[in-house]
């Protein structure tokens, strides 16, 4: 089996800009190619597009716009973890010997159709993710005796960390009081507890072991892959205060990478809402059940950037199809010691957690330098 590594990346600022989906795909890919002059673009043999946008044939469109004629070309959608689904697909094409250099480009507009969960009739009219997030928050608080203020710390930390990320949508820091006093959305959620759907793109190139040296002297290896889908409807979850799909995906990925959770030096976790960060930390095994918010508080107070150094979804914004790719880029930069003022000290192993629709589906990637 061929080993697979991340060879290059490009990204756009995350914003509320009204751009065409084709332009967003092009912009992050152009950024990638400009920053990696050793890549012969004609050697890119697969182009995968990750998006919830309704436009068709986006991979051939992106390919033509950058002037290449790949072998494999298509779009991939699985709501909010489309990005890591695409990366795992790219991994498979290379490991299977069908491709050597794969471009994965994720893009979304602020008005993505993936925001509205039309499919889940178990929610009745409550189709916006805010409703499952509210039920999760209520359940998590009740089960573990957690306060709104403790959960607000996730937003405080991630907005703070986002200030070191020039591409993040957040341009200021907030206090716990600011979060508590922000607009009340439901009984359990304030505006600053939520990530924002936004416009943004992120591109990554994966390559096989025999090609990678031509492109970069700092390859980041994908050593663990775990995925799990529990259901489509969030009311089929075993509980509203834990993430079963994330737990299973994490165990699978760590097992494949021959790692334990304490080997992870830096991680991106899918904080679509405040409550998701402690729940994810618990599901992947970094915190005991019910102690995720305690870990978040300690990290913030000790200025430890190891969880969501780029600011997470709450600080960066959440362009659905691009998010998993942007998370993977962050861990790649961290392991390459190129994360500038977001840099965690000398990390060797990192983890990406990307999920969809109330953690009904999760992906975990383990990355190593």
Give the binding site for a copy of itself (CB under 8 A).
1, 22, 47, 52, 54-61, 63-64, 69-79, 82, 85, 88-89, 91-93, 95-98, 113-114, 117-119, 225-233, 236, 249, 252, 356-357, 360-361
| Nearest CB to a copy of itself, comparing residues 35 and 122 | 122
| Nearest CB to a copy of itself, comparing residues 180 and 358 | 358
* Shortest reach from residue 245's CB to a copy of itself, in Å: 8
| Nearest CB to a copy of itself, comparing residues 119 and 177 | 119
| Nearest CB to a copy of itself, comparing residues 7 and 58 | 58
CA 17 vs CA 23, 30, 159, 314: distances in Å: 11, 18, 20, 18
Give the sign of the dihedral formed by CA 279, CA 285, CA 286, CA 288: positive
* Shortest reach from residue 110's CB to a copy of itself, in Å: 17
221, β-bridge pairs: 5, 368
Token pair 């489509």 in the structure block, residue: 232
Beta strands across the sheet bearing 101-108:
46-50, 101-108, 200-208, 4-11, 220-229, 361-368, 349-356, 266-268
| Nearest CB to a copy of itself, comparing residues 86 and 308 | 86
Other beta carbons within 10 Å of 179: 23
* Shortest reach from residue 4's CB to a copy of itself, in Å: 9
* Shortest reach from residue 369's CB to a copy of itself, in Å: 22
Tell how strand 266-268 and strand 220-229 pair up: unpaired
* Shortest reach from residue 70's CB to a copy of itself, in Å: 5
* Shortest reach from residue 50's CB to a copy of itself, in Å: 9
DSSP helix/strand/coil, 226: strand
Token pair 């659905």 in the structure block, residue: 320
| Nearest CB to a copy of itself, comparing residues 22 and 178 | 22
Contact (Cβ atoms closer than 8 angstroms) between residue 317 and residue 14: yes
| Nearest CB to a copy of itself, comparing residues 161 and 203 | 203
Token pair 């403790």 in the structure block, residue: 150
User: Whole-angstrom Cα distance, residue 3 to residue 330?
Assistant: 21
Other beta carbons within 10 Å of 66: 17
* Shortest reach from residue 104's CB to a copy of itself, in Å: 13
CA 323 to mean position of chain CA atoms:
4
């Amino acid at each position: 089996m061929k080993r697979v590594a991340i060879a290059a990346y490009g990204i756009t600022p995350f914003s509320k800009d009204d751009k065409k989906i084709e332009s967003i795909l092009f912009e992050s890919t152009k950024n990638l190619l400009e920053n990696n002059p050793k890549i012969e673009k004609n050697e890119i043999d697969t182009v995968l597009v990750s998006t919830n946008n309704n436009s068709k044939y986006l991979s051939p469109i992106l390919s033509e716009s950058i002037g290449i004629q790949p072998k494999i070309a298509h779009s991939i959608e699985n709501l909010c973890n489309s990005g890591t689904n695409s990366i795992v697909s790219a991994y498979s094409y290379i490991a299977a010997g069908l491709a050597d250099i794969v471009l994965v480009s994720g893009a979304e507009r602020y008005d993505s159709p993936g925001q509205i969960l039309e499919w889940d009739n178990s929610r009745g009219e409550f189709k916006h993710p805010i409703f499952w997030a509210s039920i999760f928050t209520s359940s998590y608080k009740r089960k573990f005796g957690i306060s709104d203020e403790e959960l607000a710390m996730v937003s405080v930390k991630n907005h703070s960390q986002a200030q070191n990320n020039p591409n993040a949508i957040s341009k200021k820091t907030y206090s716990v009081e600011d979060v508590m006093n922000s607009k009340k959305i439901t009984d359990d959620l304030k505006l600053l507890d939520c990530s924002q759907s936004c416009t943004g793109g992120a591109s990554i190139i994966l390559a096989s072991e025999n090609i990678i040296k031509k492109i970069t002297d700092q390859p980041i290896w994908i050593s663990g892959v775990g995925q799990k889908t529990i259901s489509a409807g969030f009311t089929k979850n075993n509980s509203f205060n834990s993430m079963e799909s994330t737990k299973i995906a994490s165990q699978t990925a760590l097992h494949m990478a021959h790692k334990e959770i304490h080997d992870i030096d830096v991680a991106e976790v899918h904080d679509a809402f405040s409550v998701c960060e402690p729940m994810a930390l618990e599901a992947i095994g970094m915190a005991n059940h019910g102690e995720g918010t305690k870990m978040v508080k300690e990290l913030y107070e000790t200025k430890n950037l190891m969880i969501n150094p780029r600011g997470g979804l709450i600080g960066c914004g959440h362009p659905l199809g691009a998010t998993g790719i942007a998370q993977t880029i962050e861990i790649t930069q961290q392991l390459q010691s190129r994360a500038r003022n977001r840099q965690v000290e000398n990390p060797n192993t990192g983890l990406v957690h990307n999920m969809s629709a109330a953690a009904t589906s999760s992906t975990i990637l383990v990355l190593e330098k």
